[in-house]
Amino acid sequence: MMFSSANVFWFSLALCFLAAFCAHKISTHLPRKYETCRLHVIFQDLIRYGKTKQTVTRHDWLRRFDVPKRWFWHFYAISVGWNGLLLALYLNLTFRHHSYPSWLRGVLDIGTGVPSADSHVPQLSTLLVQLLLWVHSLRRLLECLFVSVFSDGAMHLVQYVFGLGFYVVLGLTVLCSDRLGKGTGSLLSQLDLFHVAGIALFIGASLMQHQSMVLLARLRTGKSGSVETLAHRVPKGGWFELVSCPHYFAELLIYVSLSLVFGGLSLTWWLVVLYVLFNQALAAQLCHDLYISKYESYPKHRKAFIPFVL
């Protein structure tokens, strides 16, 4: 089970982003002549998006692969629909004892290496993680549509396709974790302190992320709420006083909270957390570097991602 397809996939993905993070840190110490190297430019184009992409000198042929950053809402729309479907299928399995569709059983067989079992006892952990993941996606969708103020920033087409597929694979990973777990008794009897702690952390991290998104939006809106500028400004207030990207830190905490809901025993989900750690660390470091280079008075005590650590 340790070497299931799902585990290998998430571990490999985490290593890729760790390598990208290290490569970026090394690249900042290279002589400036390497900044025009084609390989370096392509690498930077693939890891950057939005305001951080605007600092890179790119060839016109690379710009052909740009798509608007405001399309971020597509990711969450896909997640709300897809993970809502998986949640409905799990509810159908739990309360009406209907088996998964054959295509879904086949995907889970490949992902876990464990054959399906009709006698499998539904797990409260899986149901809660599916529900919380759906709530998270719905909140982020609403924030993208009604809170965030996007500039004309871009992201790479590869990033866009990756983002579309991410939440599809993520929902399947929840069911893979369920297949590798063991539920006993009724759903209510399975409730324990890990579920309570995970839900509490999820709520706290979600509020933290929402507050951060609101503060970012206010940098571009007036008191009336209308957009006054699309320029980038130094964020202040809330957790921004400690880190440059508290919304990325909150994202990590949200995935940690889901691991707690799984009882902290799902290796597969901890590998997802590992991926989120390196992915968000890279994005946060890019933003942090931009702030430091652009604003001379940028607070020296702020970290990029994790308060007092990174």
Residue 140: inside a domain, yes or no?
Answer: yes
Residue 22: inside a domain, yes or no?
Answer: yes
Per residue in 221-269, pLDDT (tens digit) is 877 677 777 777 889 999 999 999 999 999 999 999 999 999 988 999 9
How high is the pLDDT of residue 115? 73
Q: For residues 249 and 130, give the distance between their C-alpha atoms in angstroms, rounded to a whole number.
A: 21
Residue 307: inside a domain, yes or no?
Answer: no
Residue 117: inside a domain, yes or no?
Answer: yes
Mean predicted lDDT score pLDDT of the chain: 90
Tally of CB atoms within 10 A around 56:
15
Where do we find the tokens 């299931």?
A: 4
Residue 12: inside a domain, yes or no?
Answer: yes
* Res 36 pLDDT > 80: no
- Three-state DSSP class for residue 220: coil
* Res 193 pLDDT > 80: yes
- Three-state DSSP class for residue 215: helix
* 131-140, 161-170, 175-184, 294-303: the lowest-pLDDT one: 175-184
Q: Model pTM?
A: 0.93
CA-nearest of 160, 105, 166 to 136 is 166
Answer whether 269's CB lies under 8 Å from 285's CB. Answer: no
CA dist 22 → 183, 245, 285 (Å): 40, 19, 11
Residue 279: how many CA atoms within 13 Å on its side-chain side?
20
Residue 276: inside a domain, yes or no?
Answer: yes
Amino acid at 144: C
CA dist 229 → 130, 215, 267 (Å): 38, 14, 45
CA dist 220 → 84, 155, 231 (Å): 33, 20, 7
Domains held by the chain: number: 1
Residue 305: inside a domain, yes or no?
Answer: no
Residue 299: inside a domain, yes or no?
Answer: no
Per residue in 61-74, pLDDT (tens digit) is 888 999 999 999 99
CA-nearest of 273, 275, 278, 251 to 260 is 273
- Three-state DSSP class for residue 298: coil
The residue range of the domain holding 284 is 5-294
